[in-house]
Amino acid sequence: MTQVVIIGAGPTGLTLAMLLAQRGISVKLIEASGSFRRIFRGEALMPSGLDAIDRMGLADVVEQIPHRSIDAWEFHIENRPIFRVDEPMESGGKPCTLVSQPALLEAVLDRAAQCENFELIQGTAVRELLWQNERVSGVRLSDDREIAADLVIGADGRNSIVRQQAQLELVQVNQSFDILWFKLPTSPDFQAENVFHSVLRGQNAFGVFQGSEGNLQVGWSLHRDKPVEWQKVDWAEKLAAASPEWLASHFRAQKDAIERPLLLSIVVGRCPQWHRPGVLLLGDAAHPMSPIRAQGINMALRDVIVATNHLVPALQQSPNLTAIDTALAQIQTEREPEIIEIQRLQQAEVAQAELMHNYPILRHAASLLAPAIGGRIRHRWLDRQLQLRRGFSQVDLKV
């Protein structure tokens, strides 16, 4: 029987393992971590991601695990509201939905584990790829076990070991910022209505919303051109000083409950080639996404559907390595145009934010003229968001 080894049991690796196993493919899924629970896990499913979940037969899972919709997006500059957009953004559409990623992964694992041809090897890292006749033929684990494979798939994120071992180049896009991620107890203001607030005051910028499990989550933009010893900052006061008064009061009241921030180093880019004979990269391993509008998990899920469509017919042959390697190129050809367009839109958002960061006169003008120009700004922002949310291609599960 043809055997696939998938590295990384995040949303990309687990959903792909489930779909392949359900279609009779032998799958071994390797995960270095002993738990799905991490300090930071992306939660936001846009309509494109929710559609992918539905096509995978997992819509009922989202309803059963901790989840929470975003009710609106609201923007503040220099403590003045600029504009607001309610969810869902389109008539009859779906709102951005936050899901507990650990709970989602556990639920998908339960589905995959129902297949006799699925195995999870957890708590063991991959040390290196194995090669035979210039083709990847398996992996060696950190405990020296060797696992043979007709295909190895790297779903191991932006710092992919598989990508490094396969010598697949990542062309990065320069980023001017990283993110500090905080969690703290929620506020009644968010219980009544879960609004994602984007706040810009001076050169301080952050977003705050209520996560899927009920706590507040804050992403603070940390500009690389102005390094600070962020570990020594009084973050309750710094957050409060940049916030509207109602939010500042909450930050000060929760001073002792704000968790120590986690630094998320931003990596954005795309591999010119996602594959070599016997090995394929998907999700952030192939194209690490900007955190802008939470596209990483959504694009990865769409990668999985397209990969399943191409891989299943090739893998069901007994084994036809040429057919498998041909499918790898077809996957990149189908997925790459959408990734390029999504990253372009994300960079346009970053460019707008950089203008506001670098030019105080623009921030001042936007805050003063909000009643007159807020509608125009809202329209331009909404136009970009609708494209980001929908995706640029039709993705259907065909096998």
Give me the DSSP letters along 137-189. EEEEETTS-EEE-SEEEE---TT-HHHHHTT---EEPP-SEEEEEEEE---HH
Which residue has better confidence, 357 or 120?
120
- What is residue 175's predicted lDDT score, i.e. its pLDDT? 81
Check whether 195 has a pLDDT greater than 90.
yes
d(CA 357, CA 244): 18
Q: What is the pLDDT of residues 111-161, one digit of tens each?
A: 999 999 999 999 999 999 999 999 999 999 999 999 999 999 999 999 999
d(CA 167, CA 134): 12
User: Which amino acid, one-letter code, is at 253?
Assistant: A
CA-CA distances (angstroms) from residue 34 to 39, 107, 139, 186, 219?
14, 16, 19, 29, 26
- What is residue 348's predicted lDDT score, i.e. its pLDDT? 85
Number of H helices, E strands in the chain: 12, 21
Check whether 225 has a pLDDT greater than 80.
no
- What is residue 89's predicted lDDT score, i.e. its pLDDT? 92
Could you tell me if 301 and 11 are in contact, meaning their C-beta atoms sit under 8 angstroms apart?
yes
The token duo for 30 is 């390797």
d(CA 155, CA 297): 12
- What is residue 40's predicted lDDT score, i.e. its pLDDT? 57
- What is residue 41's predicted lDDT score, i.e. its pLDDT? 66
Residue bearing tokens 């002792």: 256
pTM above 0.85, yes or no: yes
CA-CA distances (angstroms) from residue 135 to 88, 127, 150, 152, 275?
47, 17, 9, 10, 11
- What is residue 39's predicted lDDT score, i.e. its pLDDT? 57
CA neighbor of 238 nearest in space, from 209, 206, 285, 215: 206
- What is residue 55's predicted lDDT score, i.e. its pLDDT? 97
Report whether the peptide linkage leading into residue 88 is cis, meaning its omega lies within 30 degrees of zero.
yes
38-42, 171-175, 355-359: which has the highest mean pLDDT? 171-175
- What is residue 291's predicted lDDT score, i.e. its pLDDT? 84
The token duo for 118 is 């699925």
CA neighbor of 149 nearest in space, from 140, 158, 157: 140
Q: What's the pLDDT band for 390 if we cut at 50, 70, 90?
A: confident
For residue 260, the 8-state DSSP code is: P
- String of b and e for 339-356 (b: at least 16 CB within 10 Å)? beebbebbeebbeebeee
Share of the chain above pLDDT 90, in %: 71
- What is residue 21's predicted lDDT score, i.e. its pLDDT? 98
Could you tell me if 309 and 399 are in contact, meaning their C-beta atoms sit under 8 angstroms apart?
yes
Average predicted confidence (pLDDT) for the chain? 92
Strand partners, 281: 154
Average pLDDT on 337-343 reads: 95
- What is residue 334's predicted lDDT score, i.e. its pLDDT? 98
For residue 264, the 8-state DSSP code is: E
The token duo for 273 is 């080639």
The token duo for 354 is 């950089």
Q: What's the pLDDT band for 38 if we cut at 50, 70, 90?
A: low
Q: What's the pLDDT band for 62 if we cut at 50, 70, 90?
A: very high
- What is residue 180's predicted lDDT score, i.e. its pLDDT? 93
Domains of the chain, first to last: 3-40+103-173+267-351 (3.50.50.60), 177-265+359-383 (no CATH)
Could you tell me if 288 and 269 are in contact, meaning their C-beta atoms sit under 8 angstroms apart?
yes
